C-alpha cells in the first residue's frame, strides 16, 4: 500500500499554517489553468485547521486529464510533461518516484506541494480526506494502515489509490470489489457502516465491536509504519503556545 508521506525536497521551502492552504492551492491551480488539470488537496490540506502547521501539501491530479492534455503515451511521460510544464511557468520543480514536487511561492515564502498523478482522482481524493478529532494522536497514515489491516484480516486487500479488492488463495490482489466508500465500509466493518465511519481512526474503532477494535488497534500499533503524535493537554505550555498561534 502506498501512503502519502512527504519529505523536504527544496532547501528554501518552509512549513505553512493551514490558513495559507487556499493561497498555496490557488497558485498551483493558476499554473494549470486552461489545461483541464485540477489539483485536488488531500490529507491535512483537504480539511485544513488554521493554527496547525504542515511541512508540505499533498494534492492529486487526474491521470487521464494529464495524459490527454500533454498527449503523453504513458503515465511516466505524463508526469515528466507535467513537471516540465509547471517549471516553464516559473516555479521550481523536481521529481522523485511517482511524485512531482513544486516549490510554490506565496508572499515572501516558499512551500512544497507534492503532486501525485493518479487515475480517478476525484473519487480517490475521498480516500485521503480525513475528519481527525481535535488533539488526536493519529494522522491520515494511521487511518490508512488501520483500514488495510482490517481488510487483510477479512480477506480483502485495500489500495489507498484504487479501492477494495478480494484476495486470492495466495493472499494476492484478485477481483475488484469497490471504490465507493459506503460499500467499502459495509464490507470491512458491517452492513450498517457508512463512509463516515472510515473518516478517522477514532470513527473506525467506534464502528467496530469492542473486541474487534482492541484486536485491530493492537495489530496496527505493531506495524513499523504506525506513528502517533503527542497529545497536547489543556493548560500546558504547549497548549498555550498553540492557542496563541491561533490568535
Question: Where residue 121 falls among pLDDT bands split at 50, 70, 90?
Answer: very high
Of 94, 110, 126, the position where a domain reaches its end is 126
pLDDT at residue number 233: 55
Q: Confirm whether 232 is domain-assigned.
A: no
The tally of domains found in the chain comes to 2
**Same structural domain for residues 153 and 206?**
yes
Question: Where residue 179 falls among pLDDT bands split at 50, 70, 90?
Answer: very high
Could you give the percent of the chain with pLDDT greater than 70? Answer: 90
Average pLDDT over residues 239-244: 44
Q: What span, in angstroms and rounded, lies between the C-alpha atoms of 244 and 17? A: 13
Q: What is the pLDDT of residues 67-104, one digit of tens each?
A: 999 999 999 999 999 999 999 999 999 998 889 999 99
> Does position 1 have pLDDT exceeding 80, yes or no?
no
Structural domain for 31, as ranges: 16-126
Q: What value does the mean pLDDT of the chain take?
A: 90
pLDDT at residue number 146: 97
Q: What span, in angstroms and rounded, lies between the C-alpha atoms of 243 and 84? A: 41
**Same structural domain for residues 80 and 96?**
yes
CA distances from 247 to 51, 86, 133, 241 (A): 8, 35, 20, 10
> Does position 49 have pLDDT exceeding 90, yes or no?
no
Q: What span, in angstroms and rounded, lies between the C-alpha atoms of 218 and 229? A: 17
Which are the contacts of 22, defined by CB distance < 8 A and separation ≥ 6? none
Amino acid at each position: 500500500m502506498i501512503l502519502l508521506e512527504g519529505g523536504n525536497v527544496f532547501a528554501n521551502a518552509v512549513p505553512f499554517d493551514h490558513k495559507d492552504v487556499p493561497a498555496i492551492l490557488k497558485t498551483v491551480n493558476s499554473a494549470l489553468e486552461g489545461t483541464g488539470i485540477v489539483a485536488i488537496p488531500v490529507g491535512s490540506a483537504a480539511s485544513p485547521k488554521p493554527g496547525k502547521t504542515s511541512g508540505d501539501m499533498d494534492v492529486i491530479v487526474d491521470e487521464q486529464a494529464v495524459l490527454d492534455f500533454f498527449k503523453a503515451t504513458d503515465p511516466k511521460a505524463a508526469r515528466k510533461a507535467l513537471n516540465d510544464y509547471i517549471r516553464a511557468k516559473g516555479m521550481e520543480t523536481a521529481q522523485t518516484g511517482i511524485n512531482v514536487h513544486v516549490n510554490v511561492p506565496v508572499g515572501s515564502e516558499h512551500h512544497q506541494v507534492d503532486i501525485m498523478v493518479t487515475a480517478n482522482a476525484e473519487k480517490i481524493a475521498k480516500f485521503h480526506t480525513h475528519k481527525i478529532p481535535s488533539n488526536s494522536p493519529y494522522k491520515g497514515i494511521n487511518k490508512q494502515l488501520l483500514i488495510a489491516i482490517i481488510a487483510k484480516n477479512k480477506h480483502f486487500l485495500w489500495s489507498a489509490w484504487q479501492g477494495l479488492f478480494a484476495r486470492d488463495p495466495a493472499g494476492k490482489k484478485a477481483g475488484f470489489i469497490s471504490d465507493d466508500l459506503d460499500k467499502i465500509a459495509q464490507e470491512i466493518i458491517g452492513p450498517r457502516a457508512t463512509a463516515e465511519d472510515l473518516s478517522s481512526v477514532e470513527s473506525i474503532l467506534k464502528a467496530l465491536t469492542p473486541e474487534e477494535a482492541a484486536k485491530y488497534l493492537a495489530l496496527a500499533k505493531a506495524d513499523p509504519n504506525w506513528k502517533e503524535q503527542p497529545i497536547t493537554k489543556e493548560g500546558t505550555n504547549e497548549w498555550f503556545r498553540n492557542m496563541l498561534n491561533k490568535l
